[in-house]
A and B are shown apart, each in its own frame.
Chain A
Amino acid sequence: MNAMSNNAEAFLRRAEALATPAWAGALRRQGLDALAKSGLPTRRAEAYKYTDLSPIARAEFGAAPAALARPALPAPRGRARLVFVDGLLRADLSTLPPRPLSDAAAVLGTVENSAVTPVAALNAALAEDGMFLDIPAGEQAGLIELVSIVTEAAGPIAFHPRHVLRLGQGASVTLLETCQGPDGVAYLHNPVFEVVVGEGATCAHTRIQQEGGSAYFLSSVHARIAAGGTYDNFTLNAGAKLARNEIHAALEGPKAACHMNGAQLVGDGRHADSTTFLHHAAPDCASRQTYKTVLAGRSRGVFQGKILVSQAAQRTDGYQMNQALLLSEDAEMDAKPQLEIYADDVKCSHGATVGALDEAQLFYLRSRGIPEKEARAMLVQAFLTEAVDGVADETCRAALDEAVMGWWREMAA
């Protein structure tokens, strides 16, 4: 490998120094090869035209401290939870006995693109830990929490957890994922999910990203959905200085469904990117995407959504909507929807809007005695409603509403 000319040099060097857990072997080789060959993408790469990873390439990240931290944890919300602190799974803080990733060999690195897209390759090369959540056929697992917390003491660490989520036939799970960390610490969280949804299984995955204000969040979810299965993803991008959230989903069996909804709340000086890739590979599948981005101050939002409909995917029903609300004149939104359709009997629609708060609506609220700040908050919430309503689970929804309110309070302060 020619590390000298590669912008991922620091990461490659770090990988060399890492002990390799048995489960990571093959994956790591794939990731290292991809990373050594291409490095981290620059803005010359089409998929990274709007999101510049060079601050991450230039940053110096350290290793997690040897001493285990015991941070205050949020109150439990689900039936059980898995807790990661500073990137490491903590059995002592978790209430669900995790399965070792070595049991997940059949899945690891096999879900579409999960080893080769740049963000995932970085993860593959450096993954040290992760969770394996395996829901056997027929089991209704209820609400499980996945908590990631970075402590102040850890400093600017980089961690790359590899999570595997497998649902057997007819199984179901609701996964509530929260990511938090201290402001003012430039750490990198680079999680990758490989999700395998079995026939007729249902996975509802709510992600609440509230990383610290100086953090980098590079995340990707890769899902395969079998016949009659459903994968629902809602991602709230509310934290981090730079957040990129990719979802790659493949509808592989007839009558599978995928919903990807999201909200991005982007404060002054921050950058949030939601990039989706949806592959309709089988007939009679449905997909729905609604993304809402709220931009304040000097901030930038990105939405890129590609829908690929293979020839076999007749009677595909696809929908994609992406809307942005600009709260300041200095904010910027870039959107790139893309449809690539090879089947002839297909219903696929997409749309995008960018706008400011409606002055008439704002005045209407204020004329009823509602103070300006509160009126603005109501309109922002109303703007998000259509996307947020996609979260059916009440606990997840409450957590989401709370996070949105929290962002708004910080904004308005």
Chain B
Amino acid sequence: MLKIEGLTAEIDGKQILKGLDLEVPAGEVHAIMGPNGAGKSTLSYVLSGREGYEITGGSVTFHGKDLLAMEPEERAATGLFLAFQYPVELPGVGNATFLRTALNAIRRQRGEPELDAMQFLKLARGRMKELSMPEDMLKRGVNVGFSGGEKKRNEVLQMALLNPSLAILDETDSGLDIDALKIVSDGVNALRGPGFSALVITHYQRLLNYIVPDRVHVLVNGRIVKSGGKELALELEAHGYAEVAA
């Protein structure tokens, strides 16, 4: 599904990713943990195609295609989804319009018929209910005035609607209260299956009690320095990065 080999990338002349290798097979959920500034968000931006990063080496294949050669919108249509660590506010763009435009853009690129306003509303309302989101969030500007937790839930709503084959969740758990954490985790678990993989970036082992990963990777200083089963997260929690990654 996703294969990263020897990836190096820099921003503003500063090297952040320093030869990163990672493979996520179809149907698996992998967690990435690592200290602040290690390059976790950088990796998620590089994978989703944000401008400003210079890829200086390595390769990424996604569904057998060269991911790095694609525009961000093509990556999304191919099945990649990034839940942002810091979701962006779009004043003047209604959440419903945004969600429907995104959904239809992806359906169009995948050769599927577009949804009209009624079909979309029905779908969106159903997903929102599952995520315990009030319906008036559809009417508001995208993320405008949303609380931290509401923004994260809105990210998960987008994921649920766009139905990706690989979701990168960049600290989606931070800012969520205990109930929301459970709801959001249920939302992710509902997508799990042979056609869905996820890269879950988190600082907290607790999330991994809800979204149980197949593998855990430790990212330090732009590289994966250690990989293991779900027990690795507990080890990290108990002993810290310095000791475990040494």
Contacts and interface: CB of A to CB of B under 8 A. Distances in A.
A374 B72 contact: no
Q: In the A-B complex, list the 10 residue pairs whose CB atoms are closest, starting with the nearest.
A: A382-B92, A369-B76, A368-B102, A369-B106, A385-B92, A366-B72, A364-B88, A369-B105, A382-B93, A370-B105
Interface residues of A, number: 23
Contacts of B48: 367
A367 B49 contact: yes
Interface of B: 48-52, 71-73, 75-77, 81-82, 84, 87-88, 90-93, 97-98, 101-103, 105-106, 109, 158, 162
16 contacts: A361-B88, A363-B49, A367-B72, A367-B75, A367-B81, A368-B102, A368-B105, A368-B162, A369-B103, A369-B105, A369-B109, A374-B101, A378-B97, A378-B98, A381-B93, A382-B91
Given A366-B71, A370-B101, A381 B92 contact: yes
Q: Which of A366, A378, A381 has the most CB of B within 10 A?
A: A366
Nearest to A359: B51
A369 B71 CA distance: 9
Contacts of B98: 365, 368, 378
Contact of A369 (B52, B77, B88): B77
Given A359-B51, A364-B84, A378-B101, A369 B73 contact: yes
A361 B90 contact: yes
Interface of A: 359-361, 363-372, 374-375, 378-379, 381-386
Nearest to B101: A370
Contacts of B105: 368-371, 374
A62 B158 CA distance: 59
A361 B50 CA distance: 11
Nearest to A386: B92
Nearest to B97: A378
A362 to B, nearest CB: 9
A366 B81 CA distance: 11
B49 A366 contact: yes
B187 to A, nearest CB: 17
Given A374-B105, A382-B92, A368 B50 contact: no
Given A374-B101, A374-B105, A369 B162 contact: yes
Given A370-B102, A378-B101, A363 B91 contact: no
B58 to A, nearest CB: 21
Nearest to A378: B93
A363 B93 contact: no
A369 B109 CA distance: 8
Contacts of A381: 92-93
